[in-house]
Amino acid sequence: MLKLVNLNYGYTDGANRRSILQDCSYTFEDGRFYTILGPSGSGKTTLLSILAGLDSAESGEVWYNGEQITANRLYHYRRNQIGIVFQQYNLINYLTGIENVELAMTETDNAMPKNRREIAYALLEKVGIVRSKAERPISKLSGGEQQRIAIARALAANVDLIFADEPTGNLDTATEQEIIRIFRQLAEEFGKTVIVVTHSETVSQFSDERVLLENGQLRRLSPAAEAITA
């Protein structure tokens, strides 16, 4: 379970103080697929950065699996407990897909099997990347293929919590559907918690829970399509 308690975050813009998160609290349960929605500039990426340990709130607490993610736990949390998927994929372009995933397996303290390459192929197969594609340099792959590899890379350290920021922002509708199917499967079949920031109605429709970030706070949207002002 990922729990946020009274998070506050703001910045100064000239003489003005702007608040992005205001006593923001929420609980994300294990094994569910969440989407975070909200108007442009409402702070979704900022919130995700805080949840993924890339930025820190000014006050408040983040708890994961009963442990508070304090400054001295951040390194462990980022390295061993979470994976992140970005809109721009952020893969290493001169390496192949399989090398990107294998490299991620060396960047964790979690126990990794000796046959890393085989496990990496299996992980890529799970997200629909066959061997011939896994062995191509990233620069020779489509955006959809790169995003699948980025998802496999995020899972490589055997983590249970995946964050994604606009993961389908650069993809066409058919490819978006494929990525949604992968996220659904990760939650349903493999018990992963998937938290996705998105403007896409399609992605949000297929999530287990839609959460709106508005006026610095998160609130659950009712399952029946509530109008979104994103």
Confirm or reject binding of residue 40 to ligand ATP (CB under 6 A): yes
Confirm or reject binding of residue 57 to ligand ATP (CB under 6 A): no
If you count DSSP H runs as helices and E runs as strands, how many of each does the chain have, helices first?
8, 10
Q: Which amino acid is at 49?
A: S
Distance separating alpha carbons of residues 48 and 143, to the nearest angstrom? 22
Distance separating alpha carbons of residues 144 and 18, to the nearest angstrom? 36
Contact between residue 100 and residue 91 where contact means Cβ atoms under 8 Å apart = yes
Q: How far is the CB of 94 from ligand ATP (least distance, A)?
A: 29
Distance separating alpha carbons of residues 9 and 177, to the nearest angstrom? 34
Distance separating alpha carbons of residues 67 and 214, to the nearest angstrom? 27
Confirm or reject binding of residue 210 to ligand ATP (CB under 6 A): no
Exactly one of 8, 25, 45, 56 binds ligand ATP (CB under 6 A); which one? 45
Confirm or reject binding of residue 42 to ligand ATP (CB under 6 A): yes
- What element of type H or E holds 46? helix 44-51
- Which lies closer to ligand ATP via its Cβ, residue 5 or residue 230? 230
Q: How far is the CB of 109 from ligand ATP (least distance, A)?
A: 30
- Which lies closer to ligand ATP via its Cβ, residue 38 or residue 60? 38
- Which lies closer to ligand ATP via its Cβ, residue 57 or residue 152? 57
Confirm or reject binding of residue 38 to ligand ATP (CB under 6 A): yes
- Which of these segments, 44-52, 56-64, 99-107, 187-195, binds ligand ATP (CB under 6 A)? 44-52
Could you give phi then psi for residue 228, rounded to 5 degrees? Answer: -115, 135
- Which lies closer to ligand ATP via its Cβ, residue 44 or residue 148? 44
| Contacts with ligand ATP, residue ranges (CB under 6 A) | 11, 20, 38, 40-46
